[in-house]
Structure 1
Amino acid sequence: MTSSVPSPASRRGLLRRFRRNRRASAAVEFALVAPLFFALLFAIIETALMFFANQVLETATQDSARMIFTGQAQQASYTQAQFTTYVCSRIPALFDCNSIWIDVESASSASAVNVNDCTDNGGNFVTPKYSPGGAGDIVVVQLCYKWPIFVTGLGYDIANLGGGKRLMRASAAFKNEPFTSGP
């Protein structure tokens, strides 16, 4: 009967052959580098997507502010709900329109403008206002959105709110054109 325990010489030969064999070295190296590579790749993609979404929010703010700037919203007697619907029509599927904070405030002079923060100390949206003003008034339109961040679990945390969210803000400040008031 032969022994199933290999001799020390055959064990050394087995180790020598294992060290010389390079067939799986690329797979092992990839397994070591892949998590870092994919973490970096996902962080880059998420950052680019966040910047793209912020630019879309800026564009929607500028387009929506033009309705007030030219007096169209005032002449059509837009309510806050109607203006929100108009803003939502300018925002693509990147955003949940029910989660966008829309604030419109006006003042008769630049020194009287009061720009509110869209969140309180707890990161919750405060109650927005809707005051588009009249002809020649100074108006500030703000849109805020809590953008979800997904790559934070991999050590890349760009969230500035609790719950893994980043606050995006876009604003437009302008003086209304001299339009005629009323419908």
Structure 2
Amino acid sequence: MRPVATDRSALTKAAPPRRGRRRGFRCDQDGAVAVEFALLALPFFAIIAAILETAFFFLASQVFDSAVDNSVRLLRTGQAQVQNYTVETYRTAICDRLFGLFDCTIAGDKLHVEVNTAANFAAASFAYPLEEDPDTGIYEWKDTELYTPGEGSQIVTVRVYYKWPTILDIMGFNLANAGDGYRLMAAVRVFRNEPF
């Protein structure tokens, strides 16, 4: 049997460095971070942009829903009927509560209001409000705006829609569900007017 060496210095000696091109290429790290960043930057910023657009849509959707809730109170309590609101006046009442996040101009044609009475709660209709124009491919409102707020104790249906413009369309992420780059926001309320 051979004796085991107790001197570990022989085991820990570093191998002499190799000279040549291969070693220089393998150990050269200049620009590695820049290349990695270039590969990951586009997906990273696309995800950040998608998160921001989704968050802003949810914020706008909540503001929209609250504005419709507050404006419906005018109808339910009879204030709108006493003040002889029209569809334009009611549209303005909604827009005043949207904090400038929405394009409420008539020319923009993005906000659509329908206020109508119903014989009973089961008779309230909720049809999809948009249809595609076969010639242009643009989605347009099926029905004209209407405003029939009803009298005291009548059942009223309020449907308010908004075509929210989407911005991002990267890597298949797109919030649009109403064609031509828009997402349809909807707020629908069915209630019985107070006996005013």
TM-score class, shorter:
0.7 to 0.9
Structure-1 residue corresponding to 2:176: 159
CA distance in 2, matches of 1:140, 1:159: 26
Contact kept, 8 Å, 2:72 with 2:158, in 1: the verdict is: yes
The size of the alignment, in residue pairs, is 168
Q: Which amino acid in the other structure matches residue 193 of structure 2? A: N
How far the C-alpha of 1:116 sits from its partner, in A, is: 4.1
Q: Superposed, which structure 2 residues align to 1:103-114 within 5 Å?
A: 103-114=114-125
Contact kept, 8 Å, 2:113 with 2:145, in 1: the verdict is: yes
RMSD: 1.8
CA distance in 2, matches of 1:90, 1:147: 16
CA distance in 2, matches of 1:115, 1:132: 17
| Structure 1, unaligned runs of 5 or more | 1-11
Percent identity at matched positions? 41
Q: Superposed, which structure 2 residues align to 1:17-166 within 5 Å?
A: 17-98=24-105, 99-122=110-133, 123-125=139-141, 126-166=143-183
How far the C-alpha of 1:173 sits from its partner, in A, is: 1.3
Q: Which amino acid in the other structure matches residue 140 of structure 2? A: N
CA distance in 2, matches of 1:91, 1:150: 20
Q: Which amino acid in the other structure matches residue 93 of structure 2? A: Y
Structure-2 residue corresponding to 1:9: none
Greater C-alpha Rg:
2
Q: Which amino acid in the other structure matches residue 154 of structure 2? A: D
Q: Which one has a larger percent helix, Structure 1 or Structure 2?
A: 1
Per-residue CA distance 1:38-66 (angstroms, 9 max, x = gap): 11111111111111111111001101100
SS in 2 for 1:174: strand
Q: Which amino acid in the other structure matches residue 46 of structure 1? A: E
Contact kept, 8 Å, 2:46 with 2:170, in 1: the verdict is: no
How far the C-alpha of 1:81 sits from its partner, in A, is: 1.4
CA distance in 1, matches of 2:128, 2:163: 14
Q: Which has the higher contact order (CA 8 A, sep 6+)?
A: 1
SS in 1 for 2:42: helix
Contact kept, 8 Å, 2:130 with 2:178, in 1: the verdict is: no
Q: Which amino acid in the other structure matches residue 29 of structure 2? A: R
Q: Please give the TM-score of this superposition, normalised by the length of structure 2.
A: 0.79
CA distance in 2, matches of 1:93, 1:14: 64
